[in-house]
Structure 1
Amino acid sequence: MTDHTPQPQRPDIHAVTPVPVRHPSRWIGGAILLVLAAMFIHLLATNDNLKWSVVWQYMFDKEILAGLGRTLLLTCLAMIGGLAIGIVLAIMRLSHNPVFQTVSWAWIWFFRGVPPLVQLIFWYNLALLIPVLSIGIPFGPQFWSANMNDLITPFSAALLGLSFTESAYAAEMIRAGIQAVSGGQTEAAATLGMSKSQTLRRIVLPQALRIIIPPIGNDTISMLKFTSLVSVLALPDLLYSAQMIYARTYQTIPLLIVATIWYLLMSTILTLIEHYIEHRLSDGKPISISRIVASLFKSRFWTSRRAEASL
């Protein structure tokens, strides 16, 4: 006999409304963080010891702005010098010459291992080790000489210490970026008759740039903060300028807040520039400032919630 029992219809999966997974711990944690943030903002707004009137008074003081200019100049020159040396070191590390490999490895090992503050103090006191710097034929006549105390100023000592430290880190980042480029492209360039230097400039480095830009941008922001170490050399950067002012006025906290605001502002601008360059290199299309700002403050929490709801 034929079974005429009606078979249950299978539900249409496309008609089912997905129910997102509940995460009460997220809401509890978020509420706690909001309460703590509100308490912090209330502290900033109501604590008279912060003296916001003094902060706004010195925000655009000529000494502060001069120190800010030195900080930005030192950051820019240290990054340029560090990247230039880092490129040479990275190429030496990838060379088949054992002498180049050993020298570059020793440079990176030393300048990554010695703290920047120690280097700044060392370079500033270099005249104790080498009183006179001379240029000439080794073990022969000298063509030029100068007193090391005249050459090593607080600015030049700071530039040497920060540039050499950056060169060690930049060399490893650049080397990793170069090695990430497919070896088949260098072989194809060789078949076209391109020399190794042409291949490096026109093929390898432009592609490695996409990989290098994010960590280099991170290093630039770190360098901006590392420049505060030069205050030990009495170089009037942003921090030391604020220190000199509060040494006269005894307004320690307001002047430190002034320096903090400027450091945060400059770090934010550098972050925006990094995001712009990174997005421009990734898709080759121009990107608006609004998209950059939105990417900075985009919350993964809400993105994950929308992703779960769309499942």
Structure 2
Amino acid sequence: MERINTLKNEISKKVIGQKDMVEKILIGILTGNHILLEGLPGLAKSLTVNTIAETLGLSFSRIQFTPDLLPSDIVGTEMYNEKTGDFSVKKGPIFANIVLADEINRAPAKVQSALLEAMQEKQVTIASETFKLDKPFIVLATQNPIEQDGTYPLPEAQQDRFLMKVKIEYPTYEEEMEILDLLTGEKEFSDIPINTIVSLQDLEEIKETIKKVVIDQKLKKYILDIVFKTREHSDYIACGASPRASISLVIASKAAAFLDGRDFVMPQDIKKVIYDVLRHRLILTYEAEAEDKKVEDIIDDILKTVILP
């Protein structure tokens, strides 16, 4: 646990506040799962991902998604060598441990399809050859919630591949004052050193430790009761959560318990991650939209009806 606290302190050298975002990203990385970050520009999404990659000593790659992006721009392509007459493979930026897919909803369907294979199968196909991606391979994607022009909504199948969809909020008044002091002071922000706190071997050990975190059968039943409630006939839910939601809730709550210094899950761990795990897995009806019901409101209603053990 001391190592995790040191890790968080190292991240805070460059990332002021945003403790919830940092914790949710760590939950994704420490369990080997993808995270979708939704927030307005300027809320340190890219900076946080880059800084966390540095503290973990993992290779990092950033892809700026645009409407004219091609699958080969991500996975790579075959190159012809005129001198030798041979073809060689040039690997794309997806060959990294942590891939930041910036503004992912700006990419067209073909690019989404190529990314989906990488996220699910942990491999990519270039021409006729298949390449395994390095372990760990984690996609941390960002999207802007207000800009809809020139965007391609993520397919439900791809959204389901993300462990969590995390909404990023504005910093507090005090945090923003600290940001001003950090970024407008005499010291160059880029010169702030970030040390590697957790090695690749440490990361694997932590992943195995999280798997061993105990979750009581009653809490598993509580999770299933919530997920099954989303599948019942409702005026507000057109399509409920898949079994991936149940699995993700168990994984995320175990990681939340670990980050809190415990080897067992408590109800508070489930409540800490439940909105992030479910918000991108529920498809709302027209009635919900007409009544201006948010997905968080629906989750609130479900939590009120399911009995906590």
TM-score over 0.5 for the pair: no
TM-score range, shorter chain: under 0.3
Greater fraction strand = 2
Which protein has the larger Cα radius of gyration, Structure 1 or Structure 2? 1
For normalisation by structure 2, the TM-score amounts to: 0.24
Structure with bigger RCO (C-alpha 8 Å, 6+ apart): 1
Greater fraction helix = 1
